[in-house]
Structure 1
Amino acid sequence: MPSGRQAVVLLAALVAGCGTAIPGSPVAAPQLPTTSTTQTVTVVTTTPASSSSAAPPPAQPPPPPPPVAKFGNPNGTVAVPPEAAAEDTSKPTRVIGTGTPASCTSQAVTDALGAGGVVTFNCGAQPHTIPMAATAKVRQRTVLDGGGLVTLSGQGQRRIIEQNGPRLVVQNITLADGNSTGDQTEGGGGGAIFVLGGQLKVVNSRFAGNKCDTNGPDLGGAAIRVTDWAQKAPIYVTSSTFEGGVCSNGGALSSIGASFVVLNSLMRGNKAIGRGANPARGGTPGGGSGGAIYNDGNTFTLRVAGSLIEDNTANEGGGAVFFVSNDKSGSMSVEGSTLRRNPSLGFETIKGIFYLGASEKPKVTGSTIQ
């Protein structure tokens, strides 16, 4: 049986765990471990490498093209007959441009209009102005559609289009800064479009800042001038805007003996700046009538419906409209329209209008004239 001293030594050895008892030596106090027995486990997460066979992200669709610009009187609601509506241009004969603005040139326009057919544009998705270096001459049946994005500019130097063909339709386009000053062909006029023959239709188009000669008793039409036309059919102008036109007579439209039907359109800020009326008073160059519209001749008609004509001026007669049927066989009507602030600085039959025709006054129904 171990002695008491041996028992103590043995017990110390057991407590130390791995210590060795040395007989006859003092017993050292047991040492506790100084390091933690807890282990830290590090978890490494790896992302699998992308496989070359993985499907690419879906392609984003291209942004939608800008909406087609809408012109004319926004409040115009007069019914438009089929013959005055836009033409189908979904299958063009000729396309001007290859998708970039640089591909749409003046030469491409004159070539396409000279050849005729259905002519459209592909100048990119954004609005684009084509400066015209020459007047485009139409000799064939032609439909010109700008898609609501294209402007043809005369750069303040030249007429934009001259028509002497069977039929021209101009739609969804802007014709701006045309200038026919100095061109006295058939009496002159027509800064944007000059019609020497054939039929004309204008749909959802804008005419801005066009000019023609500043004086003269009969010339006119800063935007459009018509002196001859086929089959005596009316010129239809539908949902179109005329603004900032300046000419001796007719700051927007002018004709000799041609009939106009103007539907759901806007004419604003046009001026007839000639002086001396027609025939010209002695000592004057003549002109100054029809701030927006100038019509002269014999048997013809003018119908204005669903339209807004405002803030036009004439130095002589008819701040809005000058209508003279020399043999008093022609007639004029205003339907569902508003004519306002169209001062005539010389003479007028009713507010803003000088009229001489088959009746004493133009026929006015459902309209405001002030």
Structure 2
Amino acid sequence: MRRALVAVLLLAAAGVSPTSPASASAADGVTVIGSGSPAGCTSAAVVRAVRAGGVVRFDCGPAPVTIVMQQTAEVLNTSTKVVIDGGGLVTLSGGGERRILWQDTCDEDLIWTTDHCDDQATPRLVIKDLTLRDGYVSSPDLAEGNGGAVSVRGGRLRIIGSTFVDNRCTPTGPDVGGAAVRVLDQFRDRPVVVRGSEFTGGVCSNGGALSSIGVSWDIRDSTFTGNRAIGRGANPAKSGTPGGGSGGAIYTDGNTFQVRLSGTRVVGNKAREGGGAVFFVSNDRTGTLSVADSVLRRNPSLGFENFPGIFFLGRGKPVFTGSVVR
């Protein structure tokens, strides 16, 4: 009863009612956007539903639908979980003008719930069977210039069966990154989970698809194609350059963290500096990279690499099993 009451109060505060285009069932924490046609599937309905928390589903009719976001959807830190389930039919588009989704447990505007905001268990954000495309951010500010489609700090993130297409973030700078997804901090250093997802056509200074600092990744059965890191001068930036250009598909930095690729294809990505496929730097040399049953090929690093398509500084060497890396 308490959970149901909280759900009702949050929905009311967000302006969502059972008769509105984003209707909700307080008993199961499910918000349904739309009522059988695209008409009710609007940016405003998505923003309200994500803010309300719980499971977000869509009823926009039997055909695929694209919702162009007029405002970034923000996850409140009072939410235990937010599951955005596109059902394989829904695309959320930034319209080439804005980020699509934002979660930050240290953002007081989203309700600061603890004094350890960088290591709290919730919100648990799940992006499921959804396409996110044409997200865009561009800012020299380290906090604002990352994550063209999705930016997450704190809690937990899972990406399941989703597709990221043609997202963009800040084109230069040594620390900005993640055209599709940028992550800072996860609860108890648990990995971001990516399953059965596709990342294509992303462009950013670093991390044409994914970027993180001090965060582990567990990526399985996924595909990365045509992503580019276009900055210039690496990190730290060489004299006379703006910096960046590493991690055509994946950019990771920090101290102790792990990146695991399994059953994954990373093909045809490019970095102007290091790591056309993967850039991995563990500053204290404790981090590890493993690649199993995967294909990494045609991922040029135009500046530097120490394995095909990979620049790695960590513990020992990357572990390759049952994989093609060339």
TM-score, shorter chain, exceeding 0.5: yes
Q: 1:355 aligns to what? A: 312
Map of 2:64 onto structure 1: 127
Task: Give the percent of matched residue pairs that are identical in Structure 1 and Structure 2.
Answer: 57
Q: Does the residue aligned with 2:158 lie in a helix, a strand or coil?
A: strand
**Is 1:205 the equivalent of 2:162?**
yes
1:253 is aligned with what amino acid? L
Please name the residue that 1:54 is paired with: none
Give the TM-score taking structure 2 as reference length: 0.84
Once residues 51 and 139 of structure 2 are traced to their aligned partners in structure 1, the CA distance between those partners, rounded to angstroms, is 24
TM-score by length of 1: 0.74
User: Which consecutive residues of structure 2, in runs of 5 or more, have no partner in the other structure?
Assistant: 1-27, 106-121
AA aligned to 2:191 is P
Partners of 2:126 and 2:142 in 1: how far apart? Answer: 22
User: In the alignment, what sits opposite 1:105?
Assistant: 42
Aligned ranges 1:244-323 → 2 under 5 Å: 244-323=201-280
Q: How far apart are 1:164 and its partner, in Å?
A: 2.4
3-state SS, counterpart of residue 188 of structure 2: coil
CA shift digits 1:16-40 (9 cap, x unpaired): xxxxxxxxxxxxxxxxxxxxxxxxx
Task: List gaps (5 residues or longer) in structure 1.
Answer: 1-90
Corresponding residue to 1:177 among 125, 134, 140: 134
> Which 4+ runs in 1 deviate beyond 6 A?
none
User: Which residue pairs with 2:320 in the alignment?
Assistant: 364
Counterpart Cα distance in 2 of 1:154 and 1:188: 15
With over 3 angstroms needed to count, the CA separation of the structure-2 counterparts of 1:227 and 1:348, relative to structure 1, is: same
1:145-160 equivalences under 5 Å are 145-160=85-100
Q: What is the total number of aligned residue pairs between the two structures?
A: 279
Q: How much does 1:266 deviate?
A: 0.2
Which one of the candidate residues 270, 285, 292 is aligned to 1:335?
292
1:94 to 31, 53, 58: 31
- Displacement of 1:185 in angstroms is 5.0
Q: Secondary structure at the match of 1:170?
A: strand
- Corresponding residue SS for 1:231: helix
Mapped partners of 1:147, 1:157: distance in 2: 25
Q: Is the 8 A contact 2:102 2:151 kept in 1?
A: yes
For 2:51, the aligned partner's letter is G
Picking from 120, 123, 143, the partner of 2:83 is: 143
Contact 2:293 2:321 in 1 (8 A): yes
Aligned-pair CA distance for 1:183:
6.8
How many Å separate the matches in 2 of 1:198 and 1:99?
33
CA distances 1:295-334 after superposition (whole Å, capped 9, x unpaired): 0000100000100000000000000000000000100000
- Give 1:158 deviation, angstroms: 0.2
What CA distance in whole angstroms lies between the structure 2 residues aligned with 1:183 and 1:114? 27
Give the superposition deviation at 1:337. Answer: 0.2
Alpha-carbon offset, residue 92 of structure 1: 5.8
Separation in structure 1 between the aligned mates of residue 140 and residue 61 of structure 2, nearest angstrom: 34
Report if the CA contact (8 A) 2:142-2:176 is conserved: no
For 1:235, give the aligned amino acid: V
Aligned: 1:118 with 2:50? no
Query: Larger strand proportion, structure 1 or 2?
Result: 2
